[in-house]
Structure 1
Amino acid sequence: MSDAVSFQQINKILELTDELEINREWVEIPLGAESPGVVRKLSNGKLEIVVDADEPFEDWLGSLESKIREVFDVDA
């Protein structure tokens, strides 16, 4: 996978956060992928989603919802 996060990938992540009713203003997605990827709540309360550079994007995306629910207040 490239170290750059594509516009299409960002859109897929935002579609998921939309489904979880997380305001897009509270989501930060860095434009560079890292290894390992990470989902964390920042000190300002925002949700940071860093795409994993090594795992295939679609596989990583499939596990993203559970990672978000672990760290961010989302109703089940």
Structure 2
Amino acid sequence: MAVIRLPEIEEIFTVLDRLGISREAVVIPLTKRDPGSVRLLPDERVEIVAPESTSVAAWLSTLEAALRELGAAPPNG
């Protein structure tokens, strides 16, 4: 079981900031799980689970696309 590290969380924050998504609107569990996921929680926050077998840096484009598809980011954000 792999645990997400602060530098990886900061990489995720870079995507959130670029898209104009508040960090307060996001939950990032400390445990990584494959294949990584992005989902809307019942309380309207977005849960971002980092992948275990892929680097977070390599997964960022997938994260951004998932956030847009979920409607968490403006289309041109």
Structure 1 runs of 4+ off > 3 angstroms? Answer: none
Show CA shifts across 1:27-60 (max 9, x none). 1111110012110010000011000112232211
Aligned equivalents of 1:73, 1:6: Cα separation in 2: 24
Paired residue total: 75
Percent identity between matched residues is 33
1:24 counterpart letter in structure 2 = R
2:57 counterpart letter in structure 1 = E
Unaligned 5+ runs, structure 1: none
Two-structure CA RMSD over aligned residues (Å): 1.4
**Equivalence for 2:14:** 15
TM-score (norm 2): 0.87
Unaligned 5+ runs, structure 2: none
